[in-house]
Amino acid sequence: MSRYTEKIGRLLPAEKIVGFLKKRTFTDDSGIQLVPLFLDENGSDGELEEEIKSFAKWFSDGEVTKYLLPGTPLLLNTDTQKLETVSVPVWLKNISKRKTAAHWKIMHPQYGFIGHASLNAIDIKDMSCERAITIGEKKYWGEGIGKIVGLMLMKAARESGLKKMTSSPYAENTRSLFNVEAQLGESVGEGVDEEGNKYFLFSKDL
Ligand SMILES: CC(C)(COP(=O)(O)OP(=O)(O)OC[C@H]1O[C@@H](n2cnc3c(N)ncnc32)[C@H](O)[C@@H]1OP(=O)(O)O)[C@@H](O)C(=O)NCCC(=O)NCCS
């Protein structure tokens, strides 16, 4: 049991876990920080001008998006039940209000705001979450930052009382595969998305 769940003395509803995570800044010994992307836990989109510019740059770069879900930034259209590409401001506003995810900016001590990390699909039934990391500034890929951020997300999940972490990187995303395998262990399955891209499923008890 983590310190947080011990203090509360019972399993927390998803909203409390997400509320706890959303408020926290995590700092690694390297100086890399995960800083909450949104200003408060009630969904305020705040002044996100700089962030919108960065996300727009990253999401218009095919080298970055080829490893993400096709069409990112995506939102579920509740009428058609299909994922649809939306603008960055609309996407940010929507994800800021989600009750089952926490989002952080990846802040590097020298390079500044270089990417986005999140714990998504937080599910109280099995206390699971899905991790996601995007280092949008591709010149910093392969420097070990993804590895550090992955470990920071695991620490964040454990501290909040979550018990399981999943990830599903595309088979051709070598860096992500190495990173996820080193941290979540061997793949537990695989699949193919609607566009025919193969992905692997990973799941680890925390
Ligand atoms: C995937 C991503 C988060 C990885 O972060 P990173 O900082 O580039 O990766 P790291 O330098 O920490 O390396 C991760 C692993 O890949 C290995 N690696 C690094 N560069 C590599 C390369 N050119 N070829 C193969 N493996 C490589 C590292 O040795 C490391 O393995 P280890 O964890 O077993 O030591 C980052 O590249 C990224 O954001 N890419 C674009 C978006 C994306 O793909 N997100 C993930 C979607 S699932």
- Spatial separation of the C-alpha atoms in residues 187 and 177, rounded to whole Å: 9
Report cis status (omega within 30 of 0) of the bond before 109.
Answer: no
Question: Per CATH, is 3-166 categorized as 3.40.1030.10?
Answer: no
Is residue 201 over pLDDT 80? yes
The average confidence (pLDDT) of the chain is 90
* Structure tokens belonging to residue 117: 């990390």
Q: What is the pLDDT of residues 77-115, one digit of tens each?
A: 888 888 999 999 999 989 988 889 999 999 999 999 999
- Distance from Cα 154 to the centre of ligand 1, integer Å: 16
**Comparison of pLDDT for 124 and 84, the residue scoring more:** 84
Per-residue burial over 159-172, b if 16 or more Cβ lie within 10 Å, else e, is bbbbbbbbbbbbee
Nearest in space to 183 (alpha carbons), one of 157, 204, 199, 169: 204
- Spatial separation of the C-alpha atoms in residues 66 and 101, rounded to whole Å: 23
The pTM is what?
A: 0.92
- Spatial separation of the C-alpha atoms in residues 150 and 156, rounded to whole Å: 10
Q: Compute the chain's Rg from CA coordinates.
A: 16
Mark out the alpha helices in 24-165 (DSSP H runs).
49-59, 62-65, 88-96, 145-160
Q: What is the pLDDT of residues 159-194, one digit of tens each?
A: 999 999 999 999 999 999 999 999 999 999 999 988
- Distance from Cα 176 to the centre of ligand 1, integer Å: 5
Pocket test for ligand 1, best of 151, 178, 184 (most atoms within 8 A of CB): 178
Contact between 126 and 105 (Cβ < 8 Å): no
Query: What DSSP state is assigned to residue 167?
Result: E
pLDDT more than 70, % of the chain:
90
pLDDT at residue number 99: 87
Question: Left (φ > 0), alpha (ψ -120 to 50) or beta: where does 78 sit?
Answer: alpha
| Nearest Cα residue to atom 48 of ligand 1 | 169
pLDDT at residue number 85: 95
Band the pLDDT of 42: cuts 50, 70, 90. low
pLDDT at residue number 103: 96
- Spatial separation of the C-alpha atoms in residues 191 and 166, rounded to whole Å: 14
pLDDT at residue number 40: 63
Band the pLDDT of 37: cuts 50, 70, 90. very high
pLDDT at residue number 3: 45
